[in-house]
């Protein structure tokens, strides 16, 4: 015989009364969405005047946006290319401005005797 205090065959929240104990479920509507990879997602929404069904939903399989039109799903978002610090600096300054700043700084270092 196995000892212990485990309650077998049950789970938290399970009770003898079922639905009556937790209350009645709200009426729901199911909306189907498709992503560019062909995945189908069907979330449920409350049937209520204050609830708006969104045009797009995130696919739970691949994370792409999914739309309600199976033949024309939303396009995948374009990834922004990683930029280095130098790329951001070059956006703010032209080459001639960069050369002028470099020469100014080198002049300051020469005056202090740090470089020749």
Ranges 19-23, 48-52, 84-88, 110-114: which has the least confidence: 19-23
Count the Cβ atoms, other than its own, within 10 Å of residue 57: 20
Domains observed in the chain: 28-67 (2.20.28.270), 79-115 (no CATH)
| The pTM of the whole model exceeds 0.75 | no
The Cα-based distances of 48 to 6, 11, 52, 53, 55 in angstroms read 42, 32, 8, 10, 17
The three-class DSSP label of residue 92 is helix
CA distance 107 to 29: 73
List residues forming the annotated binding site for Zn(2+).
35, 39, 59, 62
List residues forming the annotated binding site.
35, 39, 59, 62
CA distance 53 to 46: 9
Average pLDDT, rounded, for the chain: 85
């Amino acid at each position: 015989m196995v000892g212990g205090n485990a309650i077998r065959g049950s789970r938290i929240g399970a009770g003898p009364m079922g639905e009556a104990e937790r209350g009645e479920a709200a009426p729901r509507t199911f909306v189907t969405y498709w992503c560019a990879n062909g995945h189908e997602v069907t979330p449920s929404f409350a049937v209520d005047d204050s609830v708006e069904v969104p045009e797009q939903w995130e696919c739970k399989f691949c994370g792409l946006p999914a739309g309600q039109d199976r033949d024309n799903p939303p396009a995948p978002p374009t990834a922004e290319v990683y930029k280095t610090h130098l790329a951001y600096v070059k956006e703010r300054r032209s080459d001639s401005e960069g050369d002028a700043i470099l020469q100014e700084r080198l002049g300051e270092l020469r005056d202090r005797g740090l470089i020749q």
